[in-house]
Structure 1
Amino acid sequence: MDIDEVTKSPPPPSGTPSQQERQWAMFAHLSALAGGLLTSAMGGWGFFIGPLVIWLMKKDEMPFVGDQAKEALNFNITVSAIFLILLILSILTLGIGLLITGPIMLIVGIAALVLTIIAAIKANEGVAYRYPFNVRLVK
């Protein structure tokens, strides 16, 4: 499998989503922020829990919600992997690497926050949002 297959966006589901579907899709994106805040005492690694739960609950009955929850899940897994790699680099360099990884973590965190808010707004408008730089592990 090459990199194009991993990062290629699947087509959005057809049809116009109902108001309830749009709200659930918005919740799928925003639940990542809530999961991160709720698990902040444990390092904030709960970003993917909310989208995972919504995807598992709604993927069969609401295609738009399933698509957006899967997109949010993949994005938050990608962001978590980036943070884990940066954390490992910081530890391996005995903290000296924090001079480089610290600002990168801040930039990635702010970008993830902004992209999540944009995705939630688009999902509430009924638009199937695709995150940039998203590795799609869950198909």
Structure 2
Amino acid sequence: MSDPNAQTPNDPNLSGRPPQPPYQSQYPATPAGAAAGLTPAKDIEWGSYAHLGGLLGFVPALIIWIVFKDRGRFTDAEGKEALNFQITVLIGYVASTVLTVVTFGLLSWLFTVIWIVSAIFSIMGFLAAKEGRNYRYPFALRLIK
């Protein structure tokens, strides 16, 4: 019969070193599939970036809102507001394109006006959100609720 207390060749204690404790992360474990929440400072930061991204179009606001909407209430609210405004601006660009084609280019200056207005309001939204205040655009279709 074999001795139940005998060490087998695969036993880690044969090396003469004491067994190592299991690896422990310095960060708390989050459940699989759950996103970690944002700190209040990061929540304000990402909410303000959603507005500032309007200088580049609707894609930055869309990405920020999709990624962070469940991680911070401020980013969720500001991301939706910025995205709704950028969708409104996109509709303005489409209407401007149609008007430019119909008028054989006479209204092509509308693109510049729309971009300038969009940039001004996006910067105003960024500055307000950076201070932690909710910003509401003066005109925007509220398509995403």
CA distance in 1, matches of 2:89, 2:76: 20
- Write the letter of the residue equivalent to 1:102: S
- The CA deviation at 1:92 is 2.1
The residue aligned with 2:53 is 31
- CA-atom RMSD, angstroms? 1.5
Aligned pairs for 1:1-139 (under 5 A) are: 18-33=40-55, 36=56, 47-95=57-105, 98=106, 101-139=107-145
Which residue number in structure 2 is paired with residue 14 of structure 1?
Answer: none
The separation in 1 between residues aligned to 2:138 and 2:108, in whole angstroms, is 22
What is the aligned length? 107
From the CA coordinates, give the structure whose radius of gyration is larger.
Answer: 2
Q: Which runs of 4+ in 1 moved over 6 A?
A: none
Cα distance in 1 for residues equivalent to 2:77 and 2:104: 41
Unaligned runs of 5+ in 1: 1-16, 37-46
**Cα distance, 1:105 vs structure 2:** 3.0
| Structure richer in helix, relative to its length | 1
The separation in 1 between residues aligned to 2:121 and 2:110, in whole angstroms, is: 16
For normalisation by structure 2, the TM-score amounts to: 0.68
Q: CA deviation at 1:93?
A: 2.6
Q: Which has the higher contact order (CA 8 A, sep 6+)?
A: 1
